[in-house]
Structures are given as structure tokens and as C-alpha cells.
């Protein structure tokens, strides 16, 4: 089975004392990744799935010494012990146990959790300074190509934006355009990518969406009316690529603004949506400004609702750019806009068919903002300087 790129970043830290915590949406491959890491661990190791109440029971004791003795007995050896726990958000008290076992017995922990919202809001700070936290997103397009056996691991492992710019050509575009259309339609969940049958791909995506409601919302939220959150998700679909108007959302759903903000925080914390901040040289302004909404995966977006080709394309490109660095957008009083600014140094305009006028406007505005590089990402290939095909990103 293919290994996610994050796997190769985790392996150097298997001998470090800190716990390794992997977060990300359901079905992005966290459990598979952790089982692959387990195979590289030589010392005694134990696996627990906290979707199973019986596995939780192992850690339910007021005396943490008893828990350690229990784990040692299960490992059947003395010395360093490695403990793998899947879906830790099901048992909040576990972090206190983990802290004790790390500090007093040097136990190495490998953990997964499906919600940064839950970890931030409900977990105590007991693991502060004792964990390395990683997010596992759906596959980027480059990783998608690797999973489809179109490129080698070495080609994609250290791929940079500058590599993408160098690869931009009509030959690369034509070679990858069919795969990119598949990526736009079905997204980057590993099981979906590795499934050939299109009807089965859609079934898997629908199951992922159903699982989100069955597990994450019911388990991780205290919202009594789940229909409100469902209805808000449906209203967010046609707003992809647009600045959020919380007042209007509140009015359309007949929900107060405070609850809308809580819903947005929850959806972002469970990796269902991505809220893109406004570009600013000032940190305070960037935090205070309005945000644009995108879905984490275009396949999931297409299952939830129907939107324009341009919106799906922009959503995919924002996801692709986010694999390189932090992304923001620029909006000047609704009179001038840049779709994406990567790490405050490179500006991008996203168009189905980019024109010379698009590039001229972008370069002028970027120069005014002190942004050194600018490119128009055009779905229809344009063999001109300053234009990039999305298939190289």
C-alpha cells in the first residue's frame, strides 16, 4: 500500500520522547498511516482503537501506576514501550494519562484525532510541550499523481513551487489534463483516488459525508439541532470562493450570529471547510478581516451540492496552493481582488481561461502591495509568460 508523504516526515521522530499526534478529516488515511509507522517500531508496541469502549477501559483507572503495569503486562516485556491510540477524541481524559506515562516511564505515544476543534476546546493543556502535531489533509494533486502511479515518490517528495513553474509546458498540461479532471470531480481521499469505478467513487464520498454526520457532529458537538448545521453547509456550497457574510447567513437560517460563528469554527476544526484569511501586512488586520470559504475536498463538495465549474476549479487550486505554504486573499473595498497570495510573496489569479488583461491587472496590483511574483492559473493552457497550468501545482 502507498505511503502518504507525511509518513516520511514522521519516521525520523519515532525515537523522540514526544508523542506524535496526527489530526485530519475522517478517511484521509490517519489509521493506515499510523499502522505503517507501527511496522517501523521495533520495541514492544500496543494498538488501541478508541472507537471501541473496551480499548478505552484499559486506561480507566484513577491510579496511573496501575495503568502502566497493565500496559507492561500486555506488552509482555519490560523496557521502552510504544503505544498507538486511534481516535483519541473519544476519551478526553487520556491526555492526563499520556502526560504521566511520558514523564514517569518514557512511554512513546502515537495518536490520531479527527478534530482540532475538539482537541483545542475540550482537551486539557496537559500535553503542552510533549507532542508534535501534524495535520493530514486529503491528497494534493502531486500526491494524487503518486498514488495513481503517474510519478515517483522522489519526484513528489520535495516538490516546490519553483519546480512547478519550471515544469509548466503544453506537454505537461496535455499529459495530465485527464487526471486533473478526475481530481476536480472526485477529490483527494485516498480510497476514492485508488478506486477505478466512478459509481463506487461516488458511493465512497457519500459514505464519508454520512460518517461526518454520524460520528463527528453527534460526538464532538453540543448542538441539539443537527439540521441547522446541515442547512448551513448547504448554504456554504454556493458561497465557495466568496467572502462570508455572517449577518446574511444568520438571517437566512434564522440562527443568531454567535451560533453561526460556532458552526464555522466547528466545521473548520473538523477539517470540513477551509476559511481563507484576508491578506495584510498587519497581523491584526489579517485576523479581523472577513474570510472566504472553501471546502477541504472537491469530491466532497461535488457530492454535497452543485456549483459552477469556475468555483470547483478555484476550490481545487486553493487546496493545491495550501500544500506549499499559508494562503490568503486580497480584497480592496470590493474594487480590486487577488484570489490567492502564497506566503505574502506570490500572487495568483485563478481563471478558467486566463487573459493578458488578467495578468496585467494582477501584476499591477501585486506591485502596489509589494508582492514580488504573480501568476495567472488558467485551466485552459496559455503559452505565455506569467501563466501556469493547474496540473503542475
* Three-class SS of the chain: CCCCHHHHHHHHHCCCCCEEEEECCCCCCHHHHHHHHHCCCCCCEEEEECCCHHHHHCCCCCCHHHHHHHHHHHHCCCCCCEEEEECHHHCCCHHHHHHHHHHHHCCEEEEEECCHHHHHHHCCHHHCCCEEEEECCCCCHHHHHHHCCCCCHHHHHCCCHHHHHHHCCHHHHHHHHHHHHHHHHHCCCHHHHCCCCHHHHHHHHHHHHHHHHHHHHHHHCCCCCHHHHHHHHHHHHHHCCCECCHHHHHHHHCCCHHHHHHHHHHHHHCCCEEEECECCCCHHHHHHCCCEEEECCHHHHHHHCCCCHHHHHHHHHHHHHHCCCCEEEEEECCCEEEEEEECCCEEEEEECCCCHHHHHHHHHHHHHHCCCEEEEEECCCCCCCCEECHHHC
Q: How far apart are CA 263 and CA 267, in angstroms?
A: 6
Percent with pLDDT over 90 in the chain = 78
Position 220 scores a pLDDT of: 53
Q: Name the residue with higher pLDDT: 105 or 269.
A: 105
Taking residue 59's Cβ as centre, other Cβ atoms within 10 Å add up to 21
Q: Where are the domains of the chain?
A: 5-135, 160-188+212-392
Position 288 scores a pLDDT of: 45
Largest CA distance in the chain: 70
Res. 310 pLDDT band, cuts 50 70 90: very high
Q: How far apart are CA 92 and CA 97, in angstroms?
A: 10
Backbone angles phi, psi at 224, to 5 degrees: -75, -30
C-alpha cell at 117: 476543534
Beta bridge partners of 273: 295
Ranges 172-176, 233-237, 255-259: which has the least confidence? 255-259
Res. 14 pLDDT band, cuts 50 70 90: very high
**Would you say residue 355 has pLDDT above 80?**
yes
Ranges 1-15, 96-110, 286-300: which has the least confidence? 286-300
Instruction: From the options 3.40.50.720, 3.40.190.10, 3.40.50.300, 1.20.120.80, give the CATH code of 5-135.
Output: 3.40.50.300
pLDDT of 129-170, one tens digit each? 888 989 999 999 999 999 999 999 999 998 999 999 999 999
Ranges 25-29, 41-45, 216-220, 344-348: which has the least confidence? 216-220
Position 90 scores a pLDDT of: 85
**Would you say residue 79 has pLDDT above 90?**
no
**Would you say residue 121 has pLDDT above 60?**
no
* Stretch 306-330: mean pLDDT: 97
Give the angle 67-69-72 at the CA atoms, nearest 5°: 110
Amino acid at each position: 500500500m502507498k505511503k502518504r508523504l507525511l509518513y516520511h516526515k514522521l519516521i525520523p521522530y519515532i525515537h523522540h520522547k514526544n508523542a506524535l499526534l496526527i489530526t485530519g478529516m475522517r478517511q484521509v488515511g490517519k489509521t493506515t498511516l499510523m499502522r505503517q509507522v507501527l511496522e517501523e517500531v521495533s520495541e514492544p508496541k500496543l494498538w488501541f482503537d478508541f472507537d471501541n469502549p473496551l480499548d478505552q477501559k484499559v486506561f480507566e483507572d484513577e491510579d496511573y501506576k496501575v495503568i502502566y503495569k497493565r500496559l507492561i503486562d500486555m506488552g509482555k516485556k519490560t523496557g521502552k514501550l510504544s503505544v498507538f491510540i486511534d481516535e483519541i477524541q473519544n476519551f478526553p481524559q487520556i491526555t492526563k494519562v499520556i502526560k504521566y506515562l511520558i514523564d514517569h516511564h518514557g512511554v512513546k505515544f502515537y495518536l490520531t484525532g479527527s478534530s482540532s476543534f475538539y482537541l483545542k476546546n475540550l482537551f486539557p493543556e496537559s500535553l503542552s510541550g510533549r507532542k508534535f502535531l501534524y495535520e493530514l489533509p486529503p491528497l494534493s494533486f502531486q500526491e494524487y499523481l503518486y498514488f495513481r502511479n503517474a510519478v515517483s515518490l522522489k519526484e513528489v517528495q520535495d516538490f516546490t513551487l519553483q519546480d512547478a513553474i519550471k515544469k509548466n509546458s503544453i506537454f505537461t498540461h496535455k499529459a495530465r489534463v485527464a487526471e486533473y479532471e478526475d481530481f476536480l470531480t472526485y477529490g483527494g481521499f485516498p480510497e476514492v483516488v485508488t478506486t477505478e469505478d466512478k459509481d463506487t467513487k461516488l458511493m465512497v464520498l457519500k459514505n464519508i459525508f454520512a460518517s461526518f454526520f454520524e460520528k463527528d457532529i453527534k460526538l464532538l458537538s453540543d448542538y441539539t439541532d443537527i439540521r441547522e448545521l446541515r442547512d448551513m453547509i448547504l448554504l456554504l456550497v454556493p458561497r465557495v470562493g466568496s467572502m462570508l457574510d455572517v449577518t446574511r447567513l444568520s438571517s437566512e437560517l434564522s440562527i443568531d450570529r454567535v451560533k453561526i460563528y460556532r458552526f464555522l469554527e466547528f466545521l473548520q476544526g473538523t477539517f470540513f471547510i477551509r476559511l481563507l484569511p484576508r491578506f495584510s501586512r498587519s497581523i491584526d488586520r489579517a485576523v479581523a478581516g472577513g474570510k472566504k470559504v472553501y471546502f477541504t475536498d472537491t469530491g466532497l463538495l461535488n457530492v454535497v451540492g452543485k456549483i459552477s465549474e469556475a468555483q470547483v476549479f478555484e476550490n481545487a487550486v486553493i487546496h493545491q496552493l495550501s500544500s506549499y505554504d499559508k494562503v490568503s486573499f486580497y480584497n480592496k473595498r470590493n474594487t480590486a481582488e487577488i484570489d490567492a497570495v502564497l506566503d505574502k510573496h506570490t500572487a495568483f489569479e485563478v481563471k478558467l481561461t486566463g487573459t493578458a488583461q488578467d495578468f496585467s491587472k494582477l501584476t499591477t496590483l501585486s506591485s502596489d502591495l509589494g508582492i514580488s511574483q504573480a501568476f495567472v492559473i488558467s485551466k485552459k493552457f496559455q503559452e505565455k509568460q506569467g501563466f501556469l497550468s493547474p496540473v503542475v501545482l
